[in-house]
Amino acid sequence: MTWLPAVLSLASVALVLTVLYRPLGDAMARVYTSSNHSRVERGIYRLIGVDAQAEQTWRAYLRSVLAFSAVGLLLLYLLQRTQQWLPYSLGLPAPSEHLSFNTAASFVGNTNWQSYSPELTLGYTVQFAGLAVQNFVSAAVGISVAIALARGFAYRRSGTIGNFWVDLIRGTLRILLPLAALAALVLIAGGVIQNFAGFTHVATLSGAEQAVPGGPTASQEAIKLLGTNGGGFFNANSAHPFENPSAWTNAFEVVLMLAIPFSLPRTFGRIIGDDRQGLAIASVMAVLYVASFAALTALESAAMGTAPELAGGAMEGKEQRFGIVGSTLFATTSTGTSTGAVNSMHDSYTALGGMMPMLNMMLGEVSPGGVGSGLYAMLVLAVIAVFISGLLIGRTPEYLGKKIGPREIKLAALTILVMPTLVLAGTALSFALPGIREEVAGSSIGNPGVHGMSEVLYAFTSAANNNGSAFAGLTADTPWLNIALGVAILLGRFVPIVFVLALAGSFAAQDRVPATAGTLPTHRPMFVGLLTAVTVLVTALTFFPVLALGPLAEGLR
């Protein structure tokens, strides 16, 4: 009986995304190609001293991205460190220095990793003036970088790739803000709370007293999902009934996470003038997503073990109101889109089932990936796939009329090497350094042995991929993990952006090469299959050894 609701749930989500694909993708393309600026936008440009008509080189674009993100990092850190003096602080003290750094890095890096219980650590001002703001602008940064790479393919003999400040402001005001406002209203109608009520003390059924927090949840929930951010207003995240009350809000939240990432390939196709190319990229994303969802649902429904057999499935750590299918659909979506939101505890999944969300992230989160980051990561993999095919036939590879030479393939290779380097190095150092090993094993890992290895591996995979979800058995609020994961988040976010923008500049400087009989068609099923295979093989070759030490060892023993 599991497969019927699984197929129906997947078909329902696919139907909605299919309906949204063209209008949302076209609307986003118009946002980034229009020459008109609204009155509000012109006012902002004057305020920050930006010439909206002047385009930037890739280096200038990169400097703007890094400067803007650095200022956001500093401001969010200061907001947390001065929390006790801010209005609506709820009487909460300032978080520690290392936790404040981790949280600032996490939200600026579109990761939203949380080493703390939000409702017990941060007041409303930090939540909506700090975290919610970064949910908007960090997502807009990701979309801007993807659009800059799309312009690199579209432009000819150009030394520029657009204007970051224009892209940032338009993405925030024209796309994310109106969509988030609409989504928040739907969530409020569905029962998600939105207030400034503070803590309400209620009597429980056992006669004890419990403090129930309120807060502006729906507004933050909407952008956390639309912007593929993931940070929950409550510690239980989207498993909390105040954030995700029912089965239909669960399905709606899945759609929110997928809407922009699955529509951006259409935007890409419109910008380069070939809708078929965008459809090919979206098809690869869809194939990977469906395969992951099917595998995870099968593993969690197999009922391996005495307790799961008695329950009819692996229901530990899952909400009854969502069940296995609602949980696996959400988990596949959140780890495939760099959202990191959870409506079930991934740490409670079966050993091999818990490996699937990890694999989604290890793919580089391209199924369909985060807002912007999924598209530019997939385009980098497309460059590598075309390069491999060119080697097979002994021809200079070309993608979308742009030649892939030594500079381009080096930049593409460096882009995909950043994440596995951070994951493997962070995990290894956590167990190799004597002082750190004792801290991790003694204070952080709740399940020693093979599963503890999986918990640390998942944490660094989540951080380096800018996801933010976690195996809940790991206590991450320690100096080492807060700092190490914060550094992994920043490097995992911004080092690939450096290479992607450099790649955009390199392609933009080229003229377009006319297609010939030897040109590989990159809009046909054969290329979709090639790109899918390259994406999976790069991951398998990189991470299989470490997976054999963690979830594979646990699941196969």
Alpha-carbon distance of 262 to 396, in angstroms, equals 31
Higher pLDDT, 200 or 67: 67
pLDDT above 90 coverage of the chain, percent: 69
Question: Over the stretch 136-172, which tens digit does the pLDDT of each residue have?
Answer: 999 999 999 999 999 999 999 999 999 999 999 999 9
For residues 200 and 242, what is the distance between their CA atoms, to the nearest angstrom?
Answer: 14
> How many Å apart are CA 496 and CA 415, to the nearest integer?
5
Those residues whose C-beta lies under 8 Å from the C-beta of residue 304, and which sit 6 or more positions away, are 314, 350
Question: What pLDDT sits at residue 55?
Answer: 95
The helix/strand/coil state of 161 is: coil
pLDDT in tens, 387-404: 998 887 777 789 999 999
Q: What is the pLDDT of residues 407-462, one digit of tens each?
A: 999 999 999 999 999 999 999 999 998 889 988 988 888 777 888 889 999 999 99
User: CA 357 to CA 342: how far, in whole Å?
Assistant: 11
> Would you state the torsion angle of the CA atoms of residues 282, 220, 359, 259, taken in this order, to the nearest 10 degrees?
-10
Return d(Cα 353, Cα 335) in angstroms, integer: 13
Q: What backbone torsions phi and psi does residue 210 show, to the nearest 5 degrees? A: -130, 140
Exposed / middle / buried, residue 84 (Cβ in 10 Å: 0-12, 13-18, 19+)? exposed
Q: What share of the chain is helix, strand, coil (3-state, %, to 5)?
A: 70, 5, 30
Query: Is residue 162 a contact partner of residue 150, using CB atoms and an 8 Å limit?
Result: no
> In whole angstroms, what is the distance from residue 442 CA to residue 437 CA?
8
Phi, psi dihedrals of residue 94, rounded to the nearest 5°: -70, 140
Helix runs in 273-350, H state only: 275-301, 306-311, 323-336
Average pLDDT of the residues in 61-66: 98
Residues 6+ apart with CB under 8 A from 5: 323, 325
- Axis-axis angle for helices 97-108, 58-81 (nearest 10): 140
- Collect all residues with Cβ–Cβ distance below 8 Å to 438 and sequence separation of at least 6: none
**Each residue's pLDDT tens digit, 23-38:** 999 999 999 999 999 9
**168-182, 231-245, 315-329, 538-552 — which one is most confidently predicted on average?**
168-182
Specify the DSSP element, H or E, that contains 170: helix 164-170
Q: Average per-residue pLDDT in the chain? A: 91
For the chain, what's the residue count? 557
Helix (H) or strand (E) holding 362: helix 351-362
pLDDT of residue 303: 61
Residue 368: asked if its preceding bond is cis (omega within 30°), the reply is yes
Helix and strand counts by DSSP (H, E) for the chain: 22, 4
Q: What is the pLDDT of residue 60?
A: 97
The answer, yes or no, to whether residue 557 has pLDDT greater than 70, is no
Spatial contact of 520 and 527, defined as CB atoms under 8 Å apart: yes
Amino acid at 305: G
Q: How many C-beta atoms lie closer than 10 Å to residue 48's C-beta? A: 10
Instruction: Tell whether the model's pLDDT for residue 524 goes beyond 70.
Output: yes
In 10 A of CB 60, how many CB atoms?
17
For 508-528, the DSSP string reads: HTSPPPPP-TTSPPSSSHHHH
Q: How far apart (Å, rounded) are the C-alpha atoms in residues 386 and 397?
A: 6
Look-up of token digits 């195996």: 471
Distance CA 35, CA 55 (A): 12
* DSSP string across 221-286: HHHHHHTT----SSTTGGGSTTT--SHHHHHHHHHHHHHHHHHHHHHHHHHHT-HHHHHHHHHHHH
